[in-house]
Every structure is written in C-alpha cells, then in structure tokens.
Chains A and B, each alone.
Chain A
Amino acid sequence: MLSFLKVVERAATGPVCSEHDFDLGILVPNIRKVVKKYDIKYDAGNPVPDDDGLADRVWAAGLELATETGVWCRTTERRILFTREEIQGALAFGPRGVVFGAGLDAKAMPRRKPEDSTPPWCSVGAGGGPVSTEANVLSLVKAYAENHLGDSITTPSLTNVDGQLVTAGSPFEIEGAIRTMVLSREALRRAGRADMPIVNAVATAVSAAGHIAGHRYGIRKGDALEIGTTAELKVDFDSLNKIALSLSEGSLVYAENGVILGGLAGGPAGTAVVTAAYNPIDILVLRGAVQHPFPTHFDLGTTSTRDTIWARAVANQAVSRNSLLPVVNIGYTCAGPTTKMVLYEFAAWVIACVVSGGSFEVGGSAHGTAIDHTSPIEPLFASEVAHAVVGMGRKEANRIVTGLLAKYEKNLADPPLGKRYQDCFDVASGTPSKEFLALYREVKGEMSSEFGLRLPNAGPYC
C-alpha cells in the first residue's frame, strides 16, 4: 500500500488547482456523472433500502469518483491523485481486526455486513459536544462508561479553562485539551474501566498542536484520534500533521467524513456516493482504522432526517459489502435531553446503521452544539436499541425507522432542546432525575409495544 509520506509528497507536488475549479470543475461534475451512470436514485419511501444491487452500484460509483477526483489539499492548492491500482491496493491491505483499548476493556473492532448477527461497536458519549465545567466532564464520562454495552468513549469538549473561553489556536486550547484528557482518564478509572479506549482522544483540541498536547497527557496506543477531511474530499496540512503524529505514536485514527447533504455532494444519491468514495481515501490519506462518516443535513444540522438516513444506510451497505475497513457511524440529533424526540432520533439512525453493516457512535444531542445539552441516557438508550436489532432484516428495520420518523420528522426544524445535564441529572452521583428516568423507561416501553423490540437493560439505573 502507498505510504503516508508518499501521499504527503503528492499533496506537495500534485496538479495545481484552485478550490473553485476543484469544486465546480471536477468534483461536482464527477459526482453527477457517476450518479447518473450507476442509476442511483433516492427513495424517500424506504429510508432503509434492502437492495444489494443498489449498494454495489453505489460502491462502484464511489470508487470511480475517488479515482477520477482525488483529494484537494487546501494548504498547497493541489490535487492528490491515486490510480485505480493504488486504491485497490489500499482496500486489499488496509487495517482490519484492530484492537482498541487494553486489559479488560481491550476489544477488536468488528467488521460487519448488512443484517449481520455480530453485535456492533458502541461508541458512547458526547461526540465532542460542548460542556461548560470540569465537574460535568468528570461526571458525564464516568456515567457513559457505566453503560456496559459501551465499547469506547467519545468525550465532550470543555468550553472554558478557569472561566476563559477555549479558543482555537490559543494556549487555552492546549490547556483545555490537556484537562479534558486528564479528566476523562480519571473518570474512566472511577467507573472501573480505566483501560476503556477513548476514540475522540482530544475532543477539545482543534489544531495539531492540541493533539500533541493530548498525547503528552494521556492518549494511549489503544485510543484513537478523530481526524477528518475539512470538506468534501479536501484535507489540509494541519489534518495531515495530526496523522503524522498518530502514526509515529502508534495511536489509532477514526477517519471522519462529514459529507453535507445539500452541499457539494448534492442530494441523497450524491451524498451516499461521496461517503462510499471516502472508504479507500480514509485508508490512504487519513490512515484510518475505521471509517467514521456522518452525512449531515445542510439546513437542519442533524443526521436524523429521512434523506440522510437513506444516504447513510445505502453507503453503509455499499462499504460493508465491499470493503474490509469497518464503519463506525457518528450521528447527532436536533432534540436534546429529557425529550422523547431525542431518543426517537437516535433510535432511527442507529437502527439504519446497524442493519446496514455499520457500528455507531453517539454524537451530541441538540445538534452537538448546545452547551451542556448531553446526558448519559442518550448513548445508553442508543446502545440498547443497537443490540436489540442485531441480526434484524432490513425490511423490518425499514418499517421501524419509518414509524420513528413519523414521530419526529415534522419537529426537526423547531426541536425541543430539552434540559442541560446539570438540570436533569445529579452531577455528583451521576444519576438521572426521576422524571428523566421515567421518560427513558416510557420510550423503552414504546419500542417494545409499538415496534416489537426487546431492549436489554445495560445501564446502572434499573
């Protein structure tokens, strides 16, 4: 397989191309061409399709797109190009069976296929959602880890250091990155899961410098950094610097691809194809141990819309049927903690991923942007739903997801933000309010009575 430094060399010497020319002259026409050539059409009536032929066409379209388009480097304003053989080589020799964590919490990342009976990888936490106090970070991470369906932790981001806002590129970012890391490790120790892997290891850090600080203060070899493209098939040297560091330190990479539905990829069909195209790019450029996609709606800012669920389901089926690189899908919701809607949203996109061959990571509630609007109930519920649908057929999942969409779809533009963590949990003990616990149990009951799902009881609140 092509070495990382060879990829960097191409970023420095590849064909010069302006961003405008890349976007409208190469990327968009190539997406349109393959969507048409491979006859990829969005079907709003079936958010979780069960068409293997469609999945394989999306995969073929994605490979063609990756080969003909390459990746644009913002720092050098050049294209990084790969031959078909290099892409095939990456797919043949990419990582597999990678073990995350250590000791009692060491676990191999599963490779799954559509309707697989292998349980998914459950990455639980806040997906970098903003949290205002160190006490909240400690309490939340400890409570996330007490969910024993959780295979890895995705920490929140600390918004301030001693009252000063954490600002990207400043020393406050370095200090925030260090504190988040130190606090998260301590929280895992308190939960009795000291070696549980943290997979967004430096959530508070934006820059490579912040990631370096995180490595000095607690990132281990079984942990992962979430390193992503900056936009559709685009990278910059700061991202590549993070990868250079991870490769040298021996830590792992969750290769993030947040394709924007409604952005340069166009609609759901283009979004599915670009997400599939990322799979070999994630191996070659981002050196990922997993693909970590989150197709997000451009206007509603969530992964729980009907069209993003369809794009994600199709892309997961395309990738999991054709590539060995596992997919751990991160996702968000519009609604926040203490609402029924947040649980419906998580259930919908998580079910679509799990039956389509993927695993999942719970990102923040309330778009992952409302400060302190996250709680341990959401990842717990999502993990329980995920395990309840292992081995389920896509037709049945389609019926359930359609039913869930009917419950919340009309409220996506004006969602209830719910309550802050400190307003719905006792922060000191990490236990939910009686009202929140009752709502969680009520929705679990609905999953059983309305959809026939038997959810396990994985949390400490039974």
Chain B
Amino acid sequence: MDTATISDRLREGIISGDSVEVVAAVNAALEHGMTPLEVIQGGLQSGMTEVGERFSRYEVYLPEMMMAADAFEQAMKVLDPKLAAAGEEREKLGRVVLGAVQGDIHNLGKNIVATMLKVRGFEVFDLGVDVPASVFVDKAQELGANVIGLSALMTTTMPQQKTVIEHLKARGVRGKYFVMIGGGCTNADWAKEIGADAYGQSAGDAVTLALDAVKKQVS
C-alpha cells in the first residue's frame, strides 16, 4: 500500500464520518512510516476541507460535519502524543470560544458554526447555551483565545451580546479578542452599535471572519 492510497483512505474515512475506520487508517499510516504531520496534512485535513465544501454546497448537512469532526478528533487522540514526543505541533489556526448567550437555549446555529470552525482547523471551545457573560470572559482568558463568538437567536437575548462586551471592557481585556456575533435577529448595525468587531450572517461568514481575524492578529 503506498502513501497516496493511505491518504485516500484517511480522507474517505473522514468524509464518511467513520471514526473506527479513520483510527485504523491512522495506525496503518504510522506503521507505513508516515509522520503524524504527514497523516494530518495528507488525508485528514483534505477530508475535512472536502466535508466543509460539500456543506457549503448543501450536499451534506450538520450530522455529516459533526461525524467528520468527531472522526478527526479520534484520529488526533492517536496523533497528538506522537506529535508531542517528536517535539512537533500541528498547525492550529487559532482558538475560538463561543456559545449562546445567557437566556438563549438555541444551539443549532451555534453548533454549525462550531463544527465549521473545527473543520477549517480552529480549536473550538463550545460553552454551550445560556452562557453568562463572565463565563465567556473567564474562558477566553484561561485559554488565551483569539476569537469570541456570541450567538443570540431572539430579540430578547440580543442584549446579552452587549453585556459580554461590557464585561470585557470592565475587565480591561476588550482589545485582546476579536468578538463576532451572529443569530437570527442580529445584524451588522447591531454589531456596530454594541461594539462587536463583526457580524456573521451565516456559518460560512463566521469562518471567514475568524480566519481574517487571526491573520491580522498574527501580522
């Protein structure tokens, strides 16, 4: 079996969201002599990119993305210790802390954004739903996040996006994070009004915004 064949197997395993197959393919790749970075950059990342593109074209939906992300995480449980042992690190685009703000229990849009960010290569810390403002700030500080994502579906929970920004300001850390907002009732005007850095209308927008933000932070 050659490297190209193994990479194809890794890629197809990710696309089909088959964790068992992906872990088996990872072990086969390592036995074949591929380095952990080659495994990631070859089949795994290619599979994740393909799933993201298919989702953007409405060819697959959230379950396929979640299963691909799960399979990727299972693969990384095998690869991360080997990377550490070799003194290497996989490329991480940035860290995102996100959640639905306090009072809002709608998680689907937020889950799609979280999964698309993972698929694209971000480290994502999903705080879930009904998240108090201080928890966003505490977690972003603890993890050294690059981006904070705030989801609100309802007009009655939009004000909590503003509250999170006020907490960031009160603790003197507003400038450390790129704050993006989203959710059915929000828009660019609201983002500007509350002092957020950006508004994402779709999950694809959120990924683009996060990518731009980390590029600017690096430069």
**A: which residues have CB within 8 A of B?**
23-24, 28, 74, 130, 157, 159, 165-169, 173, 176, 204, 206-207, 230-231, 236, 238, 260, 262-264, 266-267, 298-299, 301, 367-371
Whether A298 touches B156, Cβ cut-off 8 Å, given contacts A74-B105, A167-B103, A369-B184, is no
Identify which of B109, B156, B160 contacts A204 (C-beta below 8 A). Answer: B156
Q: Which residue of A lies closest to B101 (CB)?
A: A168
The CA-CA distance from A83 to B192 in the complex, in Å, is: 52
Identify which of A130, A157, A159, A231 contacts B107 (C-beta below 8 A). Answer: A231
Q: Find residues 53-109 in chain B having any chain A CB closer than 8 Å to their own CB.
A: 58, 61-63, 66-67, 70, 102-109
Q: Is the CB of B58 within 8 A of A299?
A: yes
Q: Is the CB of B155 within 8 A of A371?
A: yes
Chain A interface, >50% SS class: loop
Instruction: Chain A residues near B158: list those with CB within 8 A.
Output: 165
Instruction: Chain B residues near A368: list those with CB within 8 A.
Output: 184
Identify which of B61, B105, B159 contacts A262 (C-beta below 8 A). Answer: B61
Whether A165 touches B159, Cβ cut-off 8 Å, given contacts A24-B70, A260-B108, is yes
Instruction: Chain B residues near A168: list those with CB within 8 A.
Output: 102-104, 154, 156-157, 160
Instruction: Chain B residues near A74: list those with CB within 8 A.
Output: 105
Q: Is the CB of A262 within 8 A of B62?
A: yes
Identify which of A24, A236, A301, A371 contacts B184 (C-beta below 8 A). Answer: A301
Chain B interface, >50% SS class: loop
Whether A263 touches B61, Cβ cut-off 8 Å, given contacts A74-B105, A231-B107, is yes
Within the complex, the shortest CB–CB distance from B2 to chain A, in Å, comes to 33
Whether A206 touches B156, Cβ cut-off 8 Å, given contacts A24-B66, A231-B106, is yes
Instruction: Chain A residues near B202: list those with CB within 8 A.
Output: 299
Within the complex, the shortest CB–CB distance from B205 to chain A, in Å, comes to 11
Identify which of A157, A230, A262 contacts B155 (C-beta below 8 A). Answer: A157
Within the complex, the shortest CB–CB distance from B44 to chain A, in Å, comes to 19
Q: Is the CB of A298 within 8 A of B112?
A: yes
Q: Is the CB of A24 within 8 A of B63?
A: yes
Identify which of A169, A236, A371 contacts B102 (C-beta below 8 A). Answer: A169
**B: which residues have CB within 8 A of A?**
58, 61-63, 66-67, 70, 102-109, 112, 154-160, 184-185, 187, 202-203
Instruction: Chain B residues near A371: list those with CB within 8 A.
Output: 155
Within the complex, the shortest CB–CB distance from A125 to chain B, in Å, comes to 16
The CA-CA distance from A368 to B185 in the complex, in Å, is: 8
Whether A263 touches B155, Cβ cut-off 8 Å, given contacts A230-B106, A231-B107, A231-B108, is no
Q: Is the CB of A167 within 8 A of B107?
A: no
Identify which of A159, A207, A264, A367 contacts B62 (C-beta below 8 A). Answer: A264
Q: Is the CB of A167 within 8 A of B159?
A: yes
The CA-CA distance from A176 to B156 in the complex, in Å, is: 10
Q: Which residue of A lies closest to B202 (CB)?
A: A299
Q: Is the CB of A157 within 8 A of B63?
A: no
Identify which of A169, A204, A266 contacts B103 (C-beta below 8 A). Answer: A169
Instruction: Chain B residues near A204: list those with CB within 8 A.
Output: 156
The CA-CA distance from A298 to B62 in the complex, in Å, is: 9
Beyond the given A230-B105, A231-B108, A236-B105, please list 17 additional residue pairs across the A-B interface where CB-CB is below 8 A.
A23-B63, A24-B63, A74-B105, A157-B155, A165-B155, A168-B103, A169-B103, A207-B103, A230-B106, A238-B105, A263-B62, A264-B108, A298-B108, A298-B112, A299-B202, A370-B187, A371-B155
